[in-house]
Amino acid sequence: MDILVVDASPLYRDILQQNLSRHRGIQLHLATSLAEARSLANRRYFHFFVLSGQMPDGEGISLARQLRSGSATAMQPIILLTGSPSAEMAEQAVKAGVTELFRKQDVAELIAFMRHYLEVNQPLRCRVLYVEDAREQREPMLAQLLEWGMTVDAVDSADAAWPLFLAHEYDLVLCDVVLGGRMSGSRLINRIRRLPLPRGATPILAVTAFDNPARRVELFHLGIDDYVQKPIPPAELRARLYNLLSRQRAVQRSQQLLEATALGVLVFDEDGVIESGDDNVRQMLGVSAGQAWGQVRDWLPEQINGQSMFDAILLGQHMVRQPVTLRRADGSYLSALLTLLELEASRGLRQFAVLLRDVSQERAITDRLLAAKQAAERAGRMKSDFLANMSHEIRTPLNAIIGMAHLMKRAELPADQAGRLDRIDMAGKLLLNLVDDILDLSRIESGQLLLESVPVSVGSLVANVVSMLSPRAADKGLLLQQEGDAAGVPHVLLGDPTRLTQAMVNYVGNAIKFTAQGHVILRLRVDAEDGGEVLLRFEVEDSGIGIAEEDQQRIFDLFQQADNSTTRRFGGSGLGLAITRRLVNLMGGETGVISQPGLGSTFWFTARLQTTERRAFDHAQTDKLAGEAAFRARFAGTTVLLVEDDEISREVAQCLLADFGLQVDVAVDGVQAVEKALAMPYAAILMDMQMPRLDGVEATRRIRATAVGQAIPIIAMTANAFIEDREKCMAAGMNDFVAKPINPEVLIVCLQRWLSQGESS
C-alpha cells in the first residue's frame, strides 16, 4: 500500500513510518510542495493521502480538490492536517473531498485513524461458506472473496451448504435468500440459528435482490447479522464483511479471556445454603477440600450496593457486581470483585451463583499508583512554591541592582562612570530576561503557566513593540517598521497582552540581532474569523543571515540555535524561540519560519483570540501623558504610602517616588501599613506582598474592610510576578500590579492612572 505525505518537512512521514511499521507492505512517499505532489499523483497510484494544510506554494485543500477530480483518486482517503481548524475550514475541506480533518498536534488520533484503515484493508484471513445459485453472480464474487484473502467454500444451493456447515467450522456465512432446490436461503439461516452455541451464532450476511421493509424485518427475525442488496459494490461488501468478522472475533476473544480467568464460583439456593464451590474459590478463601461450606452469609457480605443480597436478586436485578473484602478461613482478608447472578432453576428451586475474582494485586497496584499520584502532586506543589520563592528571591536583589543603577544614572557623573553604569544596567536586565525565560519555561513544561484573558488592543501592542525596539535597531543602522493594513483587526480582543508582546519581542529582537544591514518589518493580519474567535497572524521579516532548511525546525527546540558551536558570534540562551512556540501553542496557534541563507528570514506565529465588546485600556495614550515633568507638575506634593520590608528595595522606591515629586510615607510591614492607612488619607498605597508579621494581601483585605480604606488605590509592587500572584492581589482588593525589578516608566504610568482617578472623584 502506497501512502503520499505532502508536507514541507519529513517530520510527519517519519512519525507515520515509525508507528505504521508493523503493517507489511506500507510505503510512505514524501512531497515537499504541491507541485511535487501533483507530479507524483499523476505518475503513481496511491491508496492514502496525508496533506498539510499550508505548503510553501499553496493550500492543501486545493490539492485535495484536484485529487478528487481525477477518477484514479475518487475513493481513497484524504487527510488534511492543520494547526487550527475552524468551522469554515471544515466546510471547505468537505466540499474539496477531504475525508477527515486533524489538528497537527493530534498525531495519536491520526495514527489511530490510519491504523484502522490499514487493518480494514489487510487480507481477510477467514473461512467463508458462500451460497449463491446464479453462476454469473457466484463466480465473480468468488474471485473477489479469494482476492481479499478468504478461504471460500462456494455452493449453488442450501441443500449442498447444510452438510458443509455441519462438517466444518466457518467464520462467516454469505447466503442468498432466494435459492433454487428443496431448501431456501431463509430455511438454511433458520437451521443455523437453531444450532447450539457457538456454531449457532456464526455471523450471517444475507444477500437479496428484493429489498423492502417487510423483507428486512423478516430477515432480521430469522437471525441474520447484516444484509446487502444486489448488485453489491465491492467496497461496501468488504466493509460489511470486515465489521462482521471484527465483531465475531471480539466475542471469541472475550470468551477466551473468560475461560483463562481464574474465577472462583459458589452456587447456593434461595435459602442461602451453599451447594458447591470450585477449587478456585476454595483456594481464594482457604477452605480445605473436605470442609463443608454451610451458609452463604458465613463467607459473603449480607449487603451489596446498600441492600440485601437476596433482595437485589429477588427484585429482578439481572446481575449485581461490587468490590468486597472477604474474610478467609484463617482470619486473613481478601480483596475481590463479586458478581452475583441467577441461574436456571433446578428441581423447581431458584439457584444463584457468585463469581469471585481475586483483585488483591490490582488493589495493591492501585494503592501504589494513588500514592505515586499524591507524591507527584506534592512534588508539583513543591516545585510551584519553589519557583515562586526563587522568582521573589532573584528579583529582589535584581531590583536593587537595576534600581540603584537607574538612580545613579540620574545624577551627573563623569562619562566613564556613566558608561560603566550603563553596562551594569544592561547586564542586570539581561540577567532578568534570562531568569524570566527559565521560570517561564519551567512553568510551561509543568502546565502551571496561566494566560490572561483581558481586553487588549493588538494594534497598539504592535505599535508599542516597534516603538520599544526602534532604538536598538537604530543603533545598528537598521530600519524597523510596521507594515501592512491592520484595519481588519478588531480594535479590542480578549487575550494576554504580556505574552503576545513577549512573542513579538522575541521575534523582532532576534531579527535585529541577526541582521547586519537592511530592514526588519513587523506585520499583523487576520487569518480567519469563526464566530466569536479571530485567528491573528504575526510576521517578522528581516534581511539578515538566513537559516538553512535543515535547521529551520530545530531552532524552535530548547537550547538550540542555527549555529550551536561555542564560537557562535551572536550569543543567546536558545530559549526565546522555544518559549515563543510554547506560548503560541497555549494561545491556540502555530509557529514557523520561511528562510534562505543569505536572503533573510520571515518568522511567523498565529494566535487565537476571542472577540469582546469591552474596552481596552489605552496604555499607549497614557504613556504619552506620563512624562516625568508633566507628572511632577500635576502631582507634586501628593502623599503616598510605601509598604516595603526590604531596606534596599525601600530605598530605591523612595528615591524614585521622590524624583517624581511625591511625598513618601513608609511602612515596613503589613501591620504598620494598616495602622497608617487608617490614620491618614493617602492618595495611593504601594504594597509589597511578602512581609513579616502581616503580608501585603492580608493587609489589603483589612484596609478594604474599613470605610476609610475602600476608596484608596492600592498598587501591588512585588517580586512575586506570576499571574496567579496578580490574581491573588486583585482578589484581595488591590487595583493594579507592578512587578520588581521596578521599571520607572511602568511605575509612573500606573501612578498617573490611579492618581488621576482620585482627582476626578
Q: Is the confidence at residue 569, as pLDDT, over 60?
A: no
pLDDT one-digit tens code per residue, 581-608 = 888 888 889 999 998 888 899 999 999 9
Indicate if 334 and 367 belong to the same structural domain. Answer: no
Closest of 451, 465, 457 to residue 583, by C-alpha: 451
Pairing of strands 204-208, 172-176: parallel
Q: How far apart are the first and last CA of the chain?
A: 76
pLDDT one-digit tens code per residue, 705-757 = 998 888 899 999 887 666 777 888 889 999 998 888 788 888 888 999 898 88
Indicate if 727 and 680 belong to the same structural domain. Answer: yes
Grade residue 442 by pLDDT with cuts at 50, 70 and 90: low
Indicate if 637 and 754 belong to the same structural domain. Answer: yes
Grade residue 307 by pLDDT with cuts at 50, 70 and 90: low
pLDDT at 554: 77
pLDDT at 566: 33
Task: Name the average pLDDT for the chain.
Answer: 82
Indicate if 139 and 115 belong to the same structural domain. Answer: no
Domain that holds residue 713: 625-760
Among the candidates 68, 96, 120, a domain finishes at 120
Grade residue 261 by pLDDT with cuts at 50, 70 and 90: low
Among the candidates 239, 259, 279, a domain finishes at 259
Give the pLDDT mean for 532-553: 87
Q: How far apart are CA 698 and CA 325, in angstroms?
A: 49
Indicate if 31 and 64 belong to the same structural domain. Answer: yes
Indicate if 543 and 427 belong to the same structural domain. Answer: no
pLDDT at 487: 63
Indicate if 141 and 243 belong to the same structural domain. Answer: yes
pLDDT at 171: 92
* Residue 474 belongs to some domain of the structure: yes
**Region of poorest pLDDT, from 43-52, 257-266, 518-527:** 257-266
pLDDT at 346: 57
Indicate if 475 and 594 belong to the same structural domain. Answer: yes
Q: Is the confidence at residue 379, as pLDDT, over 90?
A: no
Q: What percent of the chain has pLDDT over 70?
A: 85
As for how many domains the chain has, the answer is: 6
Indicate if 98 and 159 belong to the same structural domain. Answer: no
pLDDT one-digit tens code per residue, 96-118 = 999 899 988 888 888 888 887 77
* Residue 525 belongs to some domain of the structure: yes
Q: Is the confidence at residue 623, as pLDDT, over 50?
A: no
C-alpha gyration radius of the chain: 38
* Residue 336 belongs to some domain of the structure: yes
CATH number assigned to the domain comprising residue 646: 3.40.50.2300
At a CB cut-off of 8 Å and minimum separation 6, what does 213 contact? none
Pairing of strands 2-6, 48-52: parallel
CA 283 to chain centre: 47
Grade residue 129 by pLDDT with cuts at 50, 70 and 90: very high
Among the candidates 336, 358, 380, a domain finishes at 358
At a CB cut-off of 8 Å and minimum separation 6, what does 441 contact? 558, 575, 578, 579, 582
Per the CB < 8 A criterion, the answer to whether 154 and 119 are in contact is no
Indicate if 652 and 733 belong to the same structural domain. Answer: yes
